[in-house]
Chains A and B, each alone.
Chain A
Amino acid sequence: MIEALQNVLTFQSIFNVAWATLFGIMIGSLPGLTVTMGLALMTTMTYAMDSTQAILVLLSLYVGAIYGGSRTAILLNIPGTPANAATALDGFPLARSGRASEALGLATTASAIGGLIGIIFLATISPMLANIALSFGSFEYFWLGVFGILIAGYMTSADDPLKGWITGFLGLFFALVGQETMHAYPRFTLGIPELTAGISLIPAMVGAFGLSEVLATMSRRRAELAGGITGRVVPSFGTIWRNKVNIVRSGVIGTGIGVIPGVGEDVGAWVSYAAARQSSKSPDEFGKGSTEGLIAAETGNNAAISGAIVPALTLAVPGSAPAAILLAAMYIHNIRPGPFIMFENPTFVYEVFWILALASLAMLVFGLLLTRPLLMLLRVDREYLMPVVFILCVIGPYALSQRVFDIYVMGFFGVLAFILRQQKFPMAPLILGIILGDLIDQNFRRSLRIADGDVLAFVERPLSAMFALLCLLTFLAAIPSARRLLMWPWRSRASEREAPEIQKSEPVGTAGSREKKEQT
């Protein structure tokens, strides 16, 4: 831990953290530039760096961009990244009512604290998870991959999980394209020689998150700023202290959601927001400018960053779409994530903790000091910004492989993702499917060979049985009647608790009830 700190606390590292975090804030702040797109493009620019500095730049950009998205969410009502969608619900009404400075200050502080809570969990969970993962065999890896697809599909498209699962399995199909590893047989290559090497992750991700976003931005109407920034940006200690429970709860929820494969920061923010609303004394204010809601959303999404890095480091399974890029970048820079990382490269894991801590600190400083200058970014015309982003989307995948074919792959995934996004299909499961395809395929076939085709062997080991049960529960949770059945014990207990309270409450029309109504 101390050695890792010494490695990170160099002038070069601090300089790189500073500019990369600031650059990330700018990327997040610009509507149309998402964190995944920024990371994918930045990965192509880190080839010449040494591995620690490259990952440091990418992590700092990740932290900065997730936070930067709150600027546009608060001032334009457009989430800069999908992770800031819940922030816009209360941030924009606050800005419209002349409290933009307060909203920006609270979002900055909550993001920094959320990031720190996530780092504490990352430091404690990662070694434990890596230890557990050492006992994983083919059966467990197969179920883990399937569980990742199912839970990512369910949670990124909670209103319509079917669409999430379709994109997940579509991703698995794309992962099958190319020469398979066991017998070197080329699958679904359609006679195109370039497809023999398979579909690379970076072009697919730049297309799915970059080009599709350019198309979406250019087909949208312009947004207008909610108002200028006047007054104090740094929030009072009292406001933060009053929200201590909300902050800790949102931090824990955000980290927990982040750990789930493929789910990511946006779901972390939404679940934290929902939990804050449920336990709030004034739930009616949520959506109308509640500081509690704003704090919960921003704490949750920044805490999820560390959470998403946990499985990426210890299982080589990304917790979110940006973490998938990080995973790809680690392989590019000769870092092998997975259960053995705590034995092979423990210093790197602790370096990640310190880099995240430094990036959170840089984010806090830049966020509070540069609020007004950063506002100028929101005035950049999309007609100037989008062609530049488009050109970077074209160069980025090419720079990685020097293959023009990868530009076509990027174009294909960009148009496909745009069409699917218009129909409310989530993109994160698609990318997770591409990443996990090879892992699931190999472990599925290996398991079948070990079990000699006996399907029951897939649920005989305790850990594989647990994952299989989780898959089944995720599937059942998407079916309304099955979900009601699953939730029945909790619902009946809740109704038992509520019943005496109803009896004790005062009759409608009394002075007490009128007072309560007025307070509400």
Chain B
Amino acid sequence: MTDQSNHRGADRLVGATIAGLGTLVFIGALNMPTFEERSVSPWTVPGIFPAFVGAVLALLGTALALRNAPPIRTQSKSERPQMGGLIGMLALGLAYIALVGHVPFAPLTIVFLAGFALVFRPMALSGQRPYWAIAGVALFVGLIGFGIPTLFETVFLVTLP
């Protein structure tokens, strides 16, 4: 599979998704109330503009899915996203977002930072002199984990979740 065919395939998928979303928006807009019982002007009903947006999205998505994609520059190896880093960041980040509000903020942040160090600095932490690396990471985790919540709560007077 070349970059160009991958790109074309991705464009088709995104285009079909946008066309589907546009169609749903259009149908949803048509089903919105017209408030005839309130003698509302038919030109101000809530669905009129969403119908326009939905129709345009459906058209643009269809055009993207059906067209011949313009040629793209082939990405060098260094430009391609590294899946390991991406999956690690996504997993940690989404878990953190899901738990905010359910777990006290400062402990959650400390666990997140420690997890981040374990995922992204495993070599440093298991190297020849791991004690210094572990001490450095622990200091960083402690400073940021307590520092940011304290800063927001005391200086900016924000009550954290």
Contacts of A330-384 to chain B: CB distance below 8 A: 383-384
The size of the chain A interface, using a CB distance under 8 A, is 63
Interface residues of B in 17-65 (CB under 8 A from A): 18, 21, 25, 28, 32-33, 35, 40-50, 52-54, 56-57, 60-61, 63-64
- Select one of B33, B49, B57, B144 contacting A387, CB under 8 A: B144
Interface of B is mostly: helix
Q: Is the CB of A395 within 8 A of B53?
A: no
Residues B48 and A165 in contact, CB atoms below 8 Å apart: no
Q: Is A422 an interface residue (CB 8 A)?
A: yes
Within the complex, the shortest CB–CB distance from B35 to chain A, in Å, comes to 6
Which single member of B44, B50, B93, B112 contacts A188 (CB below 8 Å)?
B50
Q: Contact residue range for chain B?
A: 35 or more
Decide if A317 is an interface residue (CB 8 Å cutoff): no
Interface string of A439-474 (1 = CB under 8 A from B): 011001110110011000000000000000000000
- A456-503 residues with Cβ-Cβ distance < 8 A to B are none
With A162-B63, A169-B53 as known contacts, state yes or no: A411 contacts B94, CB within 8 Å: yes
Q: Kindly name the residue among A166, A399, A448 whose own CB sees the greatest number of chain B CB atoms within 10 A.
A: A166
Given the known interface contacts A391-B112, A444-B49, the answer about A219 and B89 at a Cβ–Cβ threshold of 8 Å is yes
Question: How far, in angstroms, from A446 to B116 measured CA to CA in the complex?
Answer: 52
Interface string of B96-122 (1 = CB under 8 A from A): 110011000000010011001100110
Is A508 at the interface (CB under 8 A from chain B)? no
Q: Are A166 and B86 in contact, with the CB atoms below 8 A?
A: no
The listed residue (A162, A440, A446) touching B60 by CB distance below 8 A is A162
Residue of A nearest to B43 (CB): A448
Contact of B158 among A173, A395, A424, A453 (CB under 8 A): A395
In the complex, are the beta carbons of B63 and A219 less than 8 A apart? no
Say yes or no for B157: interface residue by CB 8 A criterion: yes
Whether A398 contacts B11 by the Cβ 8 Å rule is no
- Whether A399 and B44, one on each chain, are in contact in the complex, defined by CB atoms closer than 8 angstroms, is no
Q: Return chain B residues, CB-CB under 8 Å to A384.
A: 140
User: Which chain B residue has the least Cβ–Cβ distance from A46?
Assistant: B156
Binds B, one of A89-97, A287-295, A299-307, A401-409: A401-409
User: Is B152's beta carbon under 8 Å from chain A?
Assistant: yes
Chain B positions 147-161 with a Cβ under 8 Å from a chain A Cβ: 148, 152, 156-161
Does B90 touch A at the CB level, under 8 Å?
A: yes
A465 to B161, CA, bound (A): 51
Q: Which residues of A contact B140 (CB under 8 A)?
A: 384
**Does A180 have its Cβ within 8 Å of any Cβ on chain B?**
yes
Write the chain A residue with the least CB distance to B52.
Answer: A444
Asked whether A185 lies within 8 Å of B86 as measured between CB atoms, the reply is no
In the bound complex, residues from chain A placing their C-beta under 8 Å from that of B83 are: 219
Q: Which of A383, A422, A444 contacts B121 (CB 8 A)?
A: A383
| Min distance, Cβ A2 to any Cβ of chain B, angstroms | 35
Residues in B with CB closer than 8 Å to A192 are none
**Inter-chain contacts of B57 with A (CB < 8 A):** 166, 169-170, 173
- CB-CB under 8 A from A119, the residues of chain B are none
- Asked if A183 and B46 sit within 8 Å, CB to CB, the answer is yes
CA distance A219 to B80 in the complex (A): 8
Complex CA–CA separation, A480 to B42 (angstroms): 39
CB distance from B88 to the nearest CB of A (A): 7
Contact in complex: A445, B81 (CB < 8 Å): no
Asked if B2 CB lies within 8 Å of chain A CBs, one says: no
8 A Cβ contacts from A384-442 to B: 384, 386-388, 390-392, 394-395, 398-399, 402, 404, 407-408, 410-411, 414-415, 420, 422-425, 440-441
Q: Complex: how many Å from CA A440 to CA B41?
A: 18
| From A163, A176, A185, A390, contact of B33 by CB (8 A) | A185
Candidates A387, A440, A441; contact of B113 at CB < 8 Å = A387
Name the residue in B85, B97, B159 with the highest tally of chain A Cβ atoms < 10 Å from its Cβ: B97
- Determine if B10 is an interface residue (Cβ-Cβ < 8 Å): yes
Q: Which of A11-19, A56-64, A210-218, A264-272 contacts B (4 or more CB under 8 A)?
A: A210-218
| Chain B residues within 8 Å of A445, by CB | 43-44, 48-49
What residue of chain B has the Cβ atom nearest to residue A216's Cβ?
A: B81
Interface residue? A516 (CB, 8 A): no
Q: Kindly list the 10 A-B residue pairs having the minimum CB-CB distance in the complex, ordered from nearest.
A: A448-B43, A219-B86, A404-B101, A219-B81, A218-B89, A185-B46, A411-B97, A441-B49, A399-B158, A445-B44
The 11 listed contacts between A and B (C-beta, < 8 Å) are A44-B156, A169-B57, A176-B50, A183-B40, A214-B93, A218-B89, A221-B78, A387-B144, A398-B100, A445-B43, A445-B48
Q: Which residues of A contact B (CB under 8 A)?
A: 44-45, 47-48, 159-160, 162-163, 165-166, 169-170, 172-173, 176, 180, 182-183, 185, 187-188, 211, 214-216, 218-221, 383-384, 386-388, 390-392, 394-395, 398-399, 402, 404, 407-408, 410-411, 414-415, 420, 422-425, 440-441, 444-446, 448-449, 452-453
